Structure 1
Amino acid sequence: MDRLEQEKGGRLQVIRLNIMEPVGREMGRRLGFRVTPTFIVFDAQGHEVGRSIGSLDRALVDRVAP
Structure 2
Amino acid sequence: MAAKPIVDGIEKQHANDLNVIRVNVQDDAMRPLMKTYAFQFTPTFILFDPVGEEILHTVGAIDPEIIDEALSSTP
Q: Indicate the TM-score class for this superposition, using the shorter chain for normalisation.
A: 0.7 to 0.9
Runs of 4+ in 1 over 4 A off after TM superposition: none
Gaps of 5+ in 1: none
Given the alignment, which residue of 38, 44, 52 partners 2:50?
44
Could you tell me which runs of 5 or more consecutive residues in structure 2 were left unpaired when the two chains were aligned: 1-6
TM norm structure 1 = 0.79
The alignment covers a number of residue pairs equal to 66
Q: Which residue of 2 aligns with 1:8?
A: 14
How well do the aligned residues superpose, as a CA RMSD in angstroms?
2.0
TM-score, normalised via structure 2 length: 0.72
Percent identity between the aligned chains? 32
Measured after TM superposition, the shift of residue 32 of structure 1 is 1.0
8 A contact 1:39–1:53 mirrored in 2: yes
